[in-house]
Amino acid sequence: MKKLLLSIGAGLLIIGAILVGMKFWFKPDLVYKRNAKKAAKDLASASKVIEDEETSKIYTFEEASKIYKVDQSLLLVNQEHTIDADFPSDIVEYKDTGVLMNSCITEHYSDLSAAVSEKIGDKLYVMSSYRSYEDQQRVYEEEGAEIAALPGTSEHQTGLALDVYVSEFAGAGFIESDAGMFVNEHCYDYGFIIRYPYGGESVTGFTYEPWHIRYVGLPHSKIIEESGCLFDNYADLFEIGKYYEYYGYEIARMPEDRIEIPKDAQDVLLSEDGLGYVFVTIKTAEK
Looking at beta carbons only, is 204 or 281 nearer to Zn ion? 204
Q: Kindly state the smallest distance separating residue 279's Cβ from Zn ion, in Å.
A: 23
Looking at beta carbons only, is 99 or 259 nearer to Zn ion? 99
Looking at beta carbons only, is 132 or 281 nearer to Zn ion? 132
Q: Kindly state the smallest distance separating residue 257's Cβ from Zn ion, in Å.
A: 34
Residue 194, CA distances (Å) to 2, 13, 134, 215 in order: 52, 36, 25, 9
Q: Which one of 62-70, 80-88, 162-170, 242-250 is the stretch in contact with Zn ion (CB under 5 A)?
A: 162-170
As a whole number of angstroms, the distance between CA 154 and CA 75 comes to 12
Q: Using the rule CB under 5 A, is 212 a contact of Zn ion?
A: yes
The one-letter amino acid at 266: Q
Query: What is the number of alpha carbons within 13 Å of residue 103 lying toward its C-beta?
Result: 9
Q: Kindly state the smallest distance separating residue 172's Cβ from Zn ion, in Å.
A: 12
Closest of 1, 33, 71 to residue 278, by C-alpha: 71
Looking at beta carbons only, is 31 or 194 nearer to Zn ion? 194
Neighbours of 9 (CB within 10 A): 10
Q: Using the rule CB under 5 A, is 214 a contact of Zn ion?
A: no
Q: Using the rule CB under 5 A, is 163 a contact of Zn ion?
A: yes
How many residues touch Zn ion under the rule CB under 5 A: the total is: 2
Q: Are strands 267-272 and 69-71 parallel, antiparallel or unpaired?
A: parallel
Q: Kindly state the smallest distance separating residue 101's Cβ from Zn ion, in Å.
A: 12
Looking at beta carbons only, is 163 or 239 nearer to Zn ion? 163
Q: Kindly state the smallest distance separating residue 274's Cβ from Zn ion, in Å.
A: 18
Looking at beta carbons only, is 212 or 253 nearer to Zn ion? 212
As a whole number of angstroms, the distance between CA 54 and CA 173 comes to 56
Q: Which residue is nearest to Zn ion (CB)?
A: 212
Closest of 51, 55, 73, 35 to residue 281, by C-alpha: 73
Looking at beta carbons only, is 212 or 242 nearer to Zn ion? 212
Q: Which one of 48-56, 210-218, 221-229, 231-239 is the stretch in contact with Zn ion (CB under 5 A)?
A: 210-218
As a whole number of angstroms, the distance between CA 113 and CA 166 comes to 11
Q: Kindly state the smallest distance separating residue 205's Cβ from Zn ion, in Å.
A: 13
Q: Kindly state the smallest distance separating residue 103's Cβ from Zn ion, in Å.
A: 19
178-217 per-residue burial string, b: 16 or more CB within 10 A, e: under 16: ebbebbbeebbebbbbbbbbebbeebbeeebbbbbbbbbb
Q: Kindly state the smallest distance separating residue 126's Cβ from Zn ion, in Å.
A: 10
Neighbours of 275 (CB within 10 A): 14
Q: Is the dihedral of CA 33, 35, 38, 42 positive or negative?
A: negative
Looking at beta carbons only, is 64 or 193 nearer to Zn ion? 193
Q: Which one of 40-48, 178-186, 209-217, 260-268 is the stretch in contact with Zn ion (CB under 5 A)?
A: 209-217
As a whole number of angstroms, the distance between CA 1 and CA 214 comes to 60
Q: Which one of 46-54, 63-71, 166-174, 206-214 is the stretch in contact with Zn ion (CB under 5 A)?
A: 206-214
Question: Where on the chain is the footprint of Zn ion (CB under 5 A)?
Answer: 163, 212
